[in-house]
Structure 1
Amino acid sequence: MGNVVAQIACGRQHTLAFIPSSGKIDSFGLGGNGQLGTRSTYNRISPAPVKGCWQCLILLHAEQSYCVKRIYAGGDQSFAHYALSQDDSPPVDLRTTRPDGQIYTLSDDLIQKWLNHGHGRLSPEITNEIDLVFSSASCLNGSFLSGSNPDHYNTNSKCSGVDINMARLLYHRLIQSDYPQISQIVAASMEKHLLPRLSSSPPDIEALRLYLTLPECPLLSIPNNYTTLTIPFAKAIVSLKDAPIKVLGNWWSKFEPAVFQRLVELYKEVVVYLLRMQKLGIPLSDQRIFTCFLHTSLKFLEILHSVNERAGQIIQYDKFYIHELDELIDIRNDYVTWFQQQMFSVMDSQVTMCKYPFVFDAQAKTALLQTDAVIQMQMAVDHAQRQNLHSLFLSGGGMESVNPCLILIVRRENVVGDSMEVLRKSKNVDYKKPLKVIVVGEEAVDAGGVRKEFFLLIMKELLDPKYGMFRYYEESRLIWFTHKTFEDIDLFHLIGVVCGLAIYNLTIVELNFPLALYKKLLKKTPTLEDLKELMPDVGRSLQQLLDYTEDDLEETFCLNFTITEEMFGTTEVLELVPNGTDISVNKSNRQEFVNAYVVYKFNTSVAPQFSAFYAGFHKVCGGKVLELFQPSELQAMVIGNTNYDWKELEKSTEYKGEYWADHPTIKIFWEVFHELPLEKKKQFLLFLTGSDRIPILGMKSLALVIQPTGGGEQYFPVAHTCFNLLDLPKYTNKETLKEKLLHAIEHNQGFNLV
């Protein structure tokens, strides 16, 4: 290893390599016919010297020495051309070399040479040199090597051995608007020679280096080159076999976030370009080619997204969002097409963006969820109507019809019990219907507001400590399932159903679980990071255990494979693995201990409880649409978020009747509101919308409306939670407005909202 090879010759199933420094030939491959020159018929996996007849020739002519000039390989034959060493001509070097004998690589000196001749008409010599370098994968793979003493042996499956920053600087120095001829030659060479020759199975790891450096070339970022350079480059990567893709994934995972982000942004721009061309009706050629281009670009982004996920997010997942999708495609129609393909296993050549859900932002995913809800609810309503018709036909009109809505009739004093009773009797198809809430003895018509408050109250009741179903963690202010409970397991099922119904009916609820819950709902595995979120003190201790470098770990931590749990005033010691009491935690098994701890906390200890919750949730929300969500996105759909932007709330508010933005009452209203402390502002949201959190789409999606109301200043503001509508009397005094507003928001609980 480490020798320079000047010639390679390949037979049918064997290879020869000439090493000029030693004058020897190495061979490997099949040797059944003696073609390896080993004087045997054994096969050889790794290169080893050939034992050729020239050794006899040298012994016979001791006064003269011979050297190899050229090697050849036929089907199952090997040949070498020898000549006297006195011959002044050196062995043939078949590598791409410069006149000084060095391999052509892109360097400062070579670029400067080209630029010095780049203002006028380029000479044939310079043109040929540029074409030679950018037509040759070997030349580019030999460029940009990193380290003070760079060589290609720095490259392995974990390390590319190239300097990406050097590649970017050299490419940008070469490709300049002042030197258009150079750019044209580079583009033509890559388009006609380099990219078409890239193999799906490169011969060596080193041959993969150009896949890292080529995207740094500014030519790939020019829209006019997307279809000739940028997409063909992505096609070369998408076509690679699993082994080289795995190596590239390892290399990409070591990228600086800014470098990785540039690559992602490039292909997001390509996707937007293609979709915009389609929307404007500008033909690229024919529909099949457009589909191929779009599929290739999205597939490459999918590969990068997978690398990003496996690497623990080099960049945030939302950096893959393509925000322009809402204006460029019909998201709802795209989902319907994808849904049909999934439901009926249709093999359709049409590219649906839902195959690549990581590009959808919060607004798009909300549209997808709404679309899925409409589809599922319509299917449920259609099913109910078919049942009605069937019953009508059988009974002659005497049987009760099936309601197209899921009706919850509850009493204020028994919200949980009444809800369980209705939901127990409901069939799975009923959960897909629009939800209507009726409160016994109260006149409110549920146009949305009653439903929103119902979710708030039932979740507050179910999460009450009196049930002992959940444990509250003071440090994180989060809850998790208790490993023992005396309550009926059906209550966990009910919470799952309620959570699913809230999502399906686009209502956010208070459910302060860690992200681990949403990972598990999406069949993803919680990690130590999730334990740190729920139990920061325990998480820090486990991380210290993993990071400890001294040799006295056992004596310092004194741990075995057990966990201590406190419940109902008693303490239990539970084994994480069989015979865990007898297994001490040491340097060699500490990772296994941490893994077992995480698995116990999030899985083993709460398996029955979570299983019931999961079943209830998926009765409502089960389906293909969940596959499109990240855990954090699903969390935001359930509980909303706290990214408050009070100025945005004011800016997006609409007014009715006599009110407008500069009306005196409106001006003092916002003065009072912005002076309120955060908790009072959150109370106002609860008063107005039924929740103190905001939907995933942000403040503007609340669509607050303020209208004047009859009567004098002695009246209080009234919230129509169904419509996020505020009746605001025409107060003229700031102090009066503040007093009345605070009284209203502090006494808002009850189903008797308008």
Structure 2
Amino acid sequence: MAAGRQRRRRRQQRGGRRGPAQRPRGAGELTQSQRNVKVQCSNHDATHMLVLSPNGKLSEQWATASGGCSKTRLVKELGNQDVVQIACGDQHAMALSRGGDLFTWGQNAHGQLGVGSQTTLIPQPQLVERLKGISLAQIAAGGAHSAAVSLSGAVYSWGKNDFGQLGLGDTEDRDCPSYVGALEHWKTVFISCGADHTAVLSKEGLVCTFGAGGAGQLGHNSTRNELMPRLVAELWGARVSQVACGRQHTLVYVPSLDKVYSFGSGGEGQLGDEGKPNQLIPLPINSPVNAGKSCHGENMSQKVIEIIAGGNRSIVLSKQNKNSYVNGIATLKDKDVDAWISNSSSQHWESIKKNIRLIFSSEACINGSFLEKRDKYFKTSKEVSGVDISEVQCFYKKISKKPKVFQEVQKEIEKLLPSLSSSPISPENFRVYLILPFLLQGEDDSSFRSLGLLAQAITKLQPKDLQTLECLWSNLETTFFKELVFLYQRVSQKKLSQFLMEVISLQRNPYYLHPHETETLQVLQILYQVNSRTGFRVQENNFYVPEVKVIPTVCLFFNVETALWKLTKYPCIFDMQDKIYVHYKECEALSRPFIDNYLILMGQEHWVFPVKRECLLQDIWTHLNSAPNEQFRKILQVEFVGEAGVDEGGLSQELFSVAARTLCQPSTGVFRRVASDLAWFPSQASSGEHTFFRIGTLCGMALYNRLLAPFPFPRALYKKLLGVAPALEDLEELWPAAGRSLQGILDEEYDHNLESLDMDFTIMEEGGSMVPVELKKNGANIRVTKDNRKEFVDLYLNYVFNESIREPFEDFMQGFLRGCPATKWKMFLPVELQVVLQGHTKLDWHLLEKNVMYRQYKKSDQTIRNFWTVFHKLPEEKKKMFLAFVSGSDRIPGYGLEHLKFSIADPQEEHPDELYPFASTCEHILFLPRYSSKKILKKKLLSAIEHNEKFGLR
């Protein structure tokens, strides 16, 4: 062959010893046209050779410099591996299997084996655990360092680093693969290692080098070492297709020019001319390859060039075939899937099963499949997965129509799940967590079991790794994210159903939920948090698990409250009514007295709370100031001094309603009144007389006692109570003009428009001294621009909602926690907590009529019919006044109007026309004398409402 003749001529020119030509480090891969591959790496007087046979079996051989060779040894430790790539360093070896596993062995003084140890010698192949799950495209070995490239162009390096040959910015050795961050999104497709330097090739044909540069082998017109990857500027504009590193020299091939360029050490002719000095920049070599026709008349326009650099030699091969010399790991291809589907019932089934097992038993092979088209996978990062989920869905639809194939895929996935990487090294590792759920959409036990195992793997991730997965989830298309939620909601529903059935059938202890029963709930909760951070793309009811509603009924017969408390760690599965139930159950349990650490199950302790109407606030503050903390566990029982009545909830509600209305009056000066008549904390207020601590205590007491605290607070307060950061929409609720202005700044497209506003990083206090407050150090001298406007808005919101009200809010929060010793209220969303404390403002009066109860009356009685006719014709404000007249508040508690205990009774007096209708707020009863006329009824009803208004019932 021409290549053989060429090699012989080069050996004769150099006058060197005859021997097998050196392959480049990292280029010892099997091609279709070769019967075997030999990789030879010299180190003083010894040579290590790997021989890879066409069937993927690997042998190794150590030879002395004199030419004597030991007997070839089959690397039997890799006997069950189908090896597709091999590479040799000076005294270490690498082998990549078709299943995606990388094995290394040999000398390890510098950690070049990447196995987390610097044991001097490891003679048998070891799995490089750190790269498990990475879809490797190519491997390379240097003198005492190693490198690998993934299918997505990510580069990993490890081993000796005294010259910076790992590209990590320092000279510290690494005994585990490290991600070369400087090459992120470089689109690396090939890497080659010299003795102490490294070269990488990008898909666009650019070349970067780093490491030792003393002989000019980096091509930067310098002998300086480079600790970070640096572009070879002299090759800019020349689209390089191959790169190869020798011991101290480098070769590149530019197909458009049909030229091979070399740089580095040339003392032994490795740059093309015998005795040539070191070359610091790439220059073309003198080679017959560059001629239009070979000396034997071959048509060189059809040739394929392959360059090889090894030790102090350079080889240029001219071949007629274009077969790639890099074989890769197994990944899923459309043609393979079609073959599985069409041949699943034929004699090919055993071969199909083998292929399915190869791919779906390997994390790396799965991660290397379903990649986005048009090279988008090169953008893989913590924000971009590189996976085409629609392709995953398409694959699932195909195989789901062939149960035999589908079940085989499921079986391999289930076996793989327990071994998923618990400490991923790269964002590429996380693809498996995105792909597998969409392959487990079946409703059979196997799918549910596998989803549970996948959830188990997710919950074992370290917090930083879980954050990466959450980021990838947040960037899923909404349809795919919703499907993911549905899958975990469904399997969570299944597990809770099984738990309840086993409890009811007395097959298990009702006190305990197994970890495997809560891991899917934990994943569902994480998905919910991702959903909330990304603007609630998926409606909250998609997370609810209906089985939760069965638990209250089961609690009547079985003690499953302990399990219920555990489920509250996953509030997304509860709807608002379920959360209210849990909150009430906790308050009920806390209010039971303890004697000698034993809980009294029956009855509740009460806190008798006498107050006088004429000095209501003073009496409230007196009680709160003197009460020990344990007093707040008791159920409140209000007595208005000088008035009859037993508090069944109405009197307590009246106390909170009157107190809230009084404290919010402008004359008190407690709150700032802002847009829509909302109440907010005063800016830069000091603790003063503990006013906000007391108000917070009052609000906490209302929540604990299942009552309303109808302060007109904005949504931002409830967000802060729950640890959720207020957003721009919250500012707009308080100060609409300011909110719209900031949104306009964020939306502005043109720099000059922002500059014309002449804004800096300061804020003017409303109603204050008009002295600007700096949002950051030296803020008055920092202009707001398009580049920093997001920071400006964030600092503005932080000042308004945090810094300017720090003291009064902290007092309020401490008081709130004192007033409500329960903790399950933290399950509520801000909007839900707002409704629970402030009540519903939009009321369905027909629902009130539907749920009312009657005493001494029937629904069909004329008086009742007249009453509802009159009532529904009243203005909305009068209807709310009536509600306050009956219940003590013009709002409906968070659990809804349909649950309000409201009765209409006949006082059965002798002279009903002389009586107003009157109410017992303590029992939510309207006493309605019998009237015959609608006109009289309306008059008396309005008089009763207004009469009680004068006495401060609203």
Aligned residues: percent identity? 33
Aligned-residue offset at 1:694: 1.9
Counterpart residue number, 2:848: 649
CA contact (8 A) 1:385 1:404 kept: no
Work out the CA distance in 2 between the residues paired with 1:667 and 1:383.
56
Work out the CA distance in 1 between the residues paired with 2:866 and 2:411.
66
Q: 1:507 to 1:719 in 2, by over 3 A?
A: same
Counterpart residue number, 2:246: 51
Q: 1:413 aligns with which of 614, 618, 621?
A: 614
Counterpart residue number, 2:124: none
Aligned-residue offset at 1:639: 0.8
Q: Does structure 1 residue 377 correspond to structure 2 residue 577?
A: no
CA contact (8 A) 2:660 2:709 kept: yes
Counterpart residue number, 1:301: 524
Q: How does 1:325-724 map to 2 (within 5 A)?
A: 325-328=548-551, 352-379=566-593, 405-474=606-675, 476-483=676-683, 489-553=689-753, 555-567=755-767, 572-577=770-775, 580-622=779-821, 624-660=823-859, 662-711=860-909, 714=913, 715-724=915-924
Deviations 1:153-172 (A, max 9, x none): 24222112333334334423
| 1:552 counterpart SS class | helix
Q: 1:637 to 1:426 in 2, by over 3 A?
A: same
Counterpart residue number, 2:469: 248
Larger radius of gyration: 2
Counterpart residue number, 1:315: 538
Q: 1:651 to 1:588 in 2, by over 3 A?
A: same
Task: Provide TM-score, normalisation by structure 2.
Answer: 0.63
Unaligned 5+ segments in structure 1 are 69-77, 98-102, 340-351, 387-402
Aligned-residue offset at 1:530: 1.9
CA contact (8 A) 1:66 1:83 kept: no
Q: 1:411 to 1:750 in 2, by over 3 A?
A: farther
Deviations 1:108-163 (A, max 9, x none): x655554445689984455555555544445543444335x255324222112333
| 2:502 counterpart SS class | coil
Q: Does structure 1 residue 146 correspond to structure 2 residue 376?
A: no
Deviations 1:593-616 (A, max 9, x none): 333332332233333333332332
Work out the CA distance in 2 between the residues paired with 1:471 and 1:541.
21
Work out the CA distance in 2 between the residues paired with 1:20 and 1:315.
43
Q: How does 1:39-78 map to 2 (within 5 A)?
A: 39-40=195-196, 49-51=244-246
Match for 1:38: what amino acid? Answer: G
| 1:270 counterpart SS class | helix
Counterpart residue number, 1:164: 389
Aligned-residue offset at 1:459: 1.2
What's the RMSD between the two structures over aligned residues?
A: 4.8
Aligned-residue offset at 1:227: 4.6
Q: 1:599 to 1:155 in 2, by over 3 A?
A: closer
CA contact (8 A) 2:576 2:828 kept: no
Q: 1:158 to 1:600 in 2, by over 3 A?
A: closer
Aligned-residue offset at 1:700: 1.7
Deviations 1:504-545 (A, max 9, x none): 111112111112212333344333332122111111111212
Counterpart residue number, 1:10: 103
Aligned-residue offset at 1:428: 2.2
CA contact (8 A) 2:551 2:564 kept: no
Q: 1:95 to 1:513 in 2, by over 3 A?
A: same
Q: 1:262 aligns with which of 472, 480, 483?
A: 483
Q: 1:166 to 1:655 in 2, by over 3 A?
A: farther
Q: 1:115 to 1:677 in 2, by over 3 A?
A: farther
Match for 2:549: what amino acid? Answer: D
Task: Provide TM-score, normalisation by structure 1.
Answer: 0.78
Work out the CA distance in 2 between the residues paired with 1:688 and 1:599.
43
Work out the CA distance in 2 between the residues paired with 1:583 and 1:373.
52
Q: How does 1:733-748 map to 2 (within 5 A)?
A: 733-748=933-948
Counterpart residue number, 1:104: 332
CA contact (8 A) 1:4 1:19 kept: no
Q: Which range moved further: 648-657 or 259-268?
A: 648-657
Work out the CA distance in 1 between the residues paired with 2:685 and 2:318.
90
Q: How does 1:270-289 map to 2 (within 5 A)?
A: 270-281=491-502
Greater length-normalized contact order (CA 8 Å, ≥ 6 residues apart): 1
Work out the CA distance in 2 between the residues paired with 1:301 and 1:145.
26
Unaligned 5+ segments in structure 2 are 1-26, 30-83, 86-95, 97-101, 106-110, 115-135, 141-145, 149-156, 166-174, 176-191, 199-209, 212-226, 230-242, 252-267, 275-286, 289-294, 297-302
Aligned-residue offset at 1:466: 0.3
| 1:355 counterpart SS class | coil
Q: How does 1:204-219 map to 2 (within 5 A)?
A: 204-217=426-439, 219=440
Match for 2:699: what amino acid? Answer: C
Q: 1:285 to 1:532 in 2, by over 3 A?
A: same
Match for 1:11: what amino acid? Answer: T
Aligned-residue offset at 1:277: 1.1
Work out the CA distance in 1 between the residues paired with 2:385 and 2:478.
17
Q: 1:747 to 1:117 in 2, by over 3 A?
A: farther
Q: Which range moved further: 12-21 or 123-132?
A: 12-21
Work out the CA distance in 1 between the residues paired with 2:871 and 2:500.
44
Aligned-residue offset at 1:458: 1.3
Match for 2:514: what amino acid? Answer: T
CA contact (8 A) 2:748 2:754 kept: no
Work out the CA distance in 2 between the residues paired with 1:614 and 1:751.
32
Q: 1:19 to 1:527 in 2, by over 3 A?
A: closer
Work out the CA distance in 1 between the residues paired with 2:695 and 2:952.
24
Deviations 1:600-652 (A, max 9, x none): 32233333333332332222125643443333332222112235333433333
CA contact (8 A) 2:548 2:574 kept: yes
Q: Which range moved further: 138-147 or 438-447?
A: 138-147
Match for 1:104: what amino acid? Answer: L
CA contact (8 A) 2:646 2:922 kept: no
Deviations 1:84-114 (A, max 9, x none): 98899967865456xxxxx533x4x655554
Q: 1:166 to 1:317 in 2, by over 3 A?
A: same
| 2:639 counterpart SS class | strand
| 1:563 counterpart SS class | strand
Q: 1:486 to 1:358 in 2, by over 3 A?
A: closer
Match for 2:629: what amino acid? Answer: N
| 1:419 counterpart SS class | helix
Q: 1:732 to 1:463 in 2, by over 3 A?
A: same
Q: 1:222 aligns with which of 436, 443, 446?
A: 443
Match for 1:497: what amino acid? Answer: T
Aligned-residue offset at 1:464: 0.9
Counterpart residue number, 1:72: none
Work out the CA distance in 1 between the residues paired with 2:460 and 2:581.
33
Work out the CA distance in 2 between the residues paired with 1:270 and 1:599.
40
Aligned-residue offset at 1:571: 5.5
Work out the CA distance in 2 between the residues paired with 1:113 and 1:590.
55
Work out the CA distance in 2 between the residues paired with 1:486 and 1:10.
66
Aligned-residue offset at 1:469: 1.5
Deviations 1:23-70 (A, max 9, x none): xx96642149999963359998999955379999999999999999xx
Counterpart residue number, 2:420: 198
CA contact (8 A) 2:304 2:320 kept: no
Aligned-residue offset at 1:461: 0.9
